[in-house]
């Protein structure tokens, strides 16, 4: 298996056993009932465990559920964008079966559900340092709602069921749009939470290439004590100068929230200087909040420090993107 820093690993998930059992109980299906999916015949229990998405609801799933049931209350939900968005986040198949009861049979219900897709994880290692290994940095999805503990299909499977030397089906997802500069140019890396993962691969690569200096990491998470991922490794790379600069933001360690974009703001002048010297700018992590804030902050830095208009600053960012000097991997 060959990969490069910036690529992701796709991991095939297995749904939480307790959720599968609760769905079987709720529907009253015989667990041994045989159904046919794209990948052949199997029991409905096997289908729920390995082949169908049950921890996540998509718009398409809810639409199909409505088409089969014609339940008026569900029709109302589908026509209310805000409520539908709220429902989609943090609800699973068991929720919709409970909230919108219907007399299902296995063959009808499987037509509503999508195939269980593999989950992607940014690779946090360089093959030049770890050989045949693939490292991933996984945040385990666990949350409680309606007095029921919920577990993410893939992350909790990895955390709860996989032991050393167990086998897990994986594949490499190439990402040509998130790559280290071929010429060893300066890099500014911005990431929050598990968004730090590909930068560990970048630094391992720079170490393997014996390329010192020219690297600047901005990392943000909640707490210094519990969330400073790979702290010792960054410190080692700072010492060896493979990592030239590092700025960290722990949002919950003080009264007012401090995020990576605040650290960028504090370093405005130096950031524009690096960009002018040909630095590549990378952004990885949470799409909803952090990516938007960092994009906005970068634009402000270019505008304020460059003494140019918003339009010119936007052109500057577009040019960075065209030249592949601004790369994002957000999810």
Ligand X SMILES: Cc1cc2nc3c(=O)[nH]c(=O)nc-3n(C[C@H](O)[C@H](O)[C@H](O)COP(=O)(O)OP(=O)(O)OC[C@H]3O[C@@H](n4cnc5c(N)ncnc54)[C@H](O)[C@@H]3O)c2cc1C
Q: By CB under 6 A, how many residues form the interface with ligand X?
A: 24
Beta bridge partner(s), residue 35: 42
Query: Which of 28, 89, 163, 166 contacts ligand X by CB under 6 A?
Result: 89
- Cβ 328 to ligand X, closest distance in Å? 10
The 210-249 contact track toward ligand X, x by CB under 6 A, reads ----------------------------------------
> Do 9 and 123 form a contact (C-beta atoms < 8 A)?
yes
CB of 273 to ligand X, least distance (A): 30
Of 13, 93, 134, 302, which one interacts with ligand X (CB under 6 A)? 13
Task: Identify which of 261, 11, 3 has the alpha carbon closest to the alpha carbon of residue 121.
Answer: 11
Please give the helix or strand (H or E) that residue 328 lies within, else none: strand 326-330
CB of 93 to ligand X, least distance (A): 11
**Alpha carbon distance 35, 108 (integer Å):** 10
Q: What is the DSSP letter of 229?
A: T
Q: In angstroms, what is the minimal distance from the CB of 299 to ligand X?
A: 24
Does position 153 bind ligand X by CB under 6 A? Answer: yes
Q: How far is the CB of 132 from ligand X (least distance, A)?
A: 20
Q: What are the b/e assignments for 152-164, b being 16+ CB within 10 Å?
A: bbbbbbbeeeeee
Residue 327 lies near ligand X (rule: CB under 6 A)? no
Structure tokens at 278: 């040909």
Compose the 154-193 pattern: x for residues touching ligand X by CB under 6 A, - for all others.
xxx-------------------------------------
Q: Is 84 in the site for ligand X (CB under 6 A)?
A: no
**Bridge-partner residues for 277, per DSSP?**
none
137 binds ligand X (CB under 6 A): yes
Q: How far is CA 58 from the centre of its chain?
A: 17
Stretch of 150-158, 208-216, 306-314, 320-328 contacting ligand X, by CB under 6 A: 150-158
Residue 131: Cβ-neighbour burial (10 angstroms; 0-12, 13-18, 19+): exposed
> What is the closest distance, in whole angstroms, from the C-beta atom of residue 279 to ligand X in the complex?
23
C-alpha angle 289-291-296 in degrees, rounded to nearest 5: 100
Residue 214, phi-psi category: left (phi > 0), alpha (psi -120 to 50), beta (remainder): left
Q: How far is the CB of 312 from ligand X (least distance, A)?
A: 32
Q: Is 194 in the site for ligand X (CB under 6 A)?
A: yes
139 binds ligand X (CB under 6 A): yes
Which residues does 112 contact at the CB level (< 8 Å), separation at least 6?
Answer: 61, 64, 65, 68
Residues contributing to the site for ligand X (CB under 6 A): 8, 13, 55-56, 89-90, 119-122, 137-139, 141, 143, 152-156, 194, 197, 329, 331
């Amino acid at each position: 298996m060959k990969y490069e820093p910036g690529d992701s690993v796709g991991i095939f998930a297995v749904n939480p056993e307790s959720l599968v059992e609760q769905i079987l109980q709720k529907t009253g299906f015989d667990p041994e009932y045989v159904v046919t999916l794209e990948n052949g015949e199997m029991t409905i229990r096997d289908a729920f465990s390995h082949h169908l998405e049950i921890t996540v609801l998509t718009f398409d799933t809810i639409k199909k559920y409505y088409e089969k049931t014609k339940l008026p209350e569900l029709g109302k939900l589908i026509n209310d964008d805000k409520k539908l968005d709220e429902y989609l986040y943090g609800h699973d198949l068991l929720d919709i079966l409970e909230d919108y009861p219907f007399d299902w049979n296995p063959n009808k219900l499987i037509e509503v559900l999508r195939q269980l897709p593999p989950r992607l994880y940014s690779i946090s290692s360089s093959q030049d340092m770890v050989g045949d290994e693939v490292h991933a940095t996984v945040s385990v999805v666990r949350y409680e709602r309606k007095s029921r503990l919920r577990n993410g299909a893939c992350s909790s499977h990895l955390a709860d069921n996989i032991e050393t030397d167990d086998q897990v089906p994986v594949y490499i997802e190439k990402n040509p749009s998130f790559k280290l500069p071929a010429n060893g140019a300066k890099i500014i890396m911005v990431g929050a939470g598990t968004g730090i993962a590909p930068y560990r691969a970048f630094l391992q690569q720079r170490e393997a290439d014996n390329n010192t200096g020219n690297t600047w990491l901005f990392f943000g998470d909640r707490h210094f004590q519990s969330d400073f991922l790979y702290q010792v490794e960054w410190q080692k790379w700072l010492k060896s100068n493979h990592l030239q600069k590092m700025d960290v933001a722990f949002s919950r360690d003080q009264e007012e929230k401090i995020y990576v974009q605040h650290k960028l703001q504090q370093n405005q002048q130096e950031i524009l200087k690096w960009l002018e010297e040909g630095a590549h700018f990378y952004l990885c992590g949470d799409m909803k909040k952090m990516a938007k804030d960092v994009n906005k902050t970068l634009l402000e830095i270019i505008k304020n420090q460059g003494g140019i208009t918003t339009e010119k600053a936007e052109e500057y960012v577009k040019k960075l993107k065209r030249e592949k000097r601004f790369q994002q991997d957000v999810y």
